[in-house]
């Protein structure tokens, strides 16, 4: 039982991190109605900015406090992501208003390659580390209940709590604020939103900035765990099954989908791996997503699209 709980907790914590990346996909889709292929590149770009600024700030200013240097680096990295959002709106999306969804999709694919190239040109292509003081030592829980207790990685625990807090805040932002309602209106119909006075360009800058913030937090967490390197952008691929399960239009769906994927891949690797030769954790999420596409394409919490003629 202790081993099962250990795997369960590990899956839940990994699932929250998947949800954090999936949140960026959901945010962009809810505001523009297009799947954002650039989210993985945004995670890499934000992580590179954070890693390099946290190194450059002490060199530029002589600040010795690592905490203060990290805070300044975070603010600068977030400012960079806002500038990126503004440039994306001015140079790409603002010129494609009311175009077909496939046009916007291809635009985000191009943005992904631009961010990958520009990020490595400005910040470098080496493997960098991010140290924001997250505890890395494991801890044991319920030692009096199970022999040896349940092993929990403190870094994963802190990261999952941060991810959960951000998901809750963004859920409230979408549901309770006028800007959140405007974002949903823009996603439903660009022309109708413009006709009632919603500034489409400003809304897109806001939502890409918020998605950039989510990418920055995800980049810091994953960069702290894995190091900041080009392969970090591939972590976003694990978020694809999450949004397929949860639904592209549902913030709560990103949470539930992430938890299902995280727990499912951990338990399947442990209990089904011996029968299939291992490696299930790599492909489990994609097979589950494929099954959902065949049965319920809109996901568990997504809105069913009904075409009227």
Report the predicted TM-score, pTM, of the whole model to 2 decimal places.
0.84
Q: How confident is the model at residue 67 (pLDDT cuts 50, 70, 90)?
A: confident
Q: Which residues pair with 228 in a beta bridge?
A: 128
Q: Quick check: is 307 in a domain?
A: no
Which range of residues forms the domain containing residue 134? 2-295
Q: Quick check: is 309 in a domain?
A: no
Q: How confident is the model at residue 304 (pLDDT cuts 50, 70, 90)?
A: low
Among the listed residues 275, 257, 237, the one whose alpha carbon sits nearest the alpha carbon of residue 167 = 257
Q: Quick check: is 148 in a domain?
A: yes
Q: Quick check: is 302 in a domain?
A: no
Share of the chain above pLDDT 90, in %: 8
Q: Quick check: is 308 in a domain?
A: no
Number of structural domains found in the chain:
1
Q: Quick check: is 300 in a domain?
A: no
d(C-alpha 15, C-alpha 264), whole Å = 9
How do residues 103-123 score in pLDDT, each as one tens digit? 888 888 898 889 988 988 898
Among the listed residues 133, 157, 8, 2, the one whose alpha carbon sits nearest the alpha carbon of residue 71 = 133
Share of the chain above pLDDT 70, in %: 88
Q: Quick check: is 303 in a domain?
A: no
Q: Quick check: is 194 in a domain?
A: yes
> Does residue 3 or residue 253 have the better pLDDT?
253
């Amino acid at each position: 039982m202790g081993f099962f709980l250990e795997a369960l907790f590990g899956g839940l914590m990994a699932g929250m991190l998947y949800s954090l990346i999936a949140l960026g996909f959901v945010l962009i889709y809810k505001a523009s109605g297009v799947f954002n292929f650039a989210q993985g590149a945004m995670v890499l770009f934000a992580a590179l900015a954070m890693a390099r600024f946290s190194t450059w700030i002490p060199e530029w200013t002589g600040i010795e406090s690592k905490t203060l240097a990290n805070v300044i680096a975070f603010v600068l990295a977030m400012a960079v992501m806002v500038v990126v959002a503004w440039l994306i709106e001015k140079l790409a999306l603002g010129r494609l208003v009311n175009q077909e969804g496939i046009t916007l999709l291809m635009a985000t694919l191009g943005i992904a390659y631009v961010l990958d190239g520009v990020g490595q040109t400005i910040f470098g292509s080496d493997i960098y580390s991010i140290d924001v003081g997250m505890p890395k030592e494991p801890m044991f829980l319920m030692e009096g209940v199970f022999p040896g207790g349940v092993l929990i990685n403190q870094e994963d625990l802190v990261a999952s709590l941060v991810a959960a807090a951000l998901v809750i805040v963004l859920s409230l932002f979408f549901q309770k604020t006028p800007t959140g309602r405007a974002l949903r209106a823009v996603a439903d119909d660009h022309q109708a939103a413009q006709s009632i006075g919603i500034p489409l360009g400003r809304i897109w800058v806001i939502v890409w900035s918020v998605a950039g913030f989510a990418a920055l937090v995800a980049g810091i967490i994953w960069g702290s765990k894995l190091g900041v390197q080009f392969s970090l952008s591939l972590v976003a691929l694990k978020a694809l099954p999450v949004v397929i399960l949860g639904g592209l239009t549902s913030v709560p769906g990103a949470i539930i989908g992430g938890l299902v994927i995280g727990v499912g891949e951990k338990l399947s690797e442990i209990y089904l791996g011996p029968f299939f030769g291992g490696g299930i954790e790599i492909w489990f999420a994609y097979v589950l997503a494929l099954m959902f596409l065949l049965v319920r394409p809109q996901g568990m919490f997504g809105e069913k699209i009904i075409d009227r003629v």
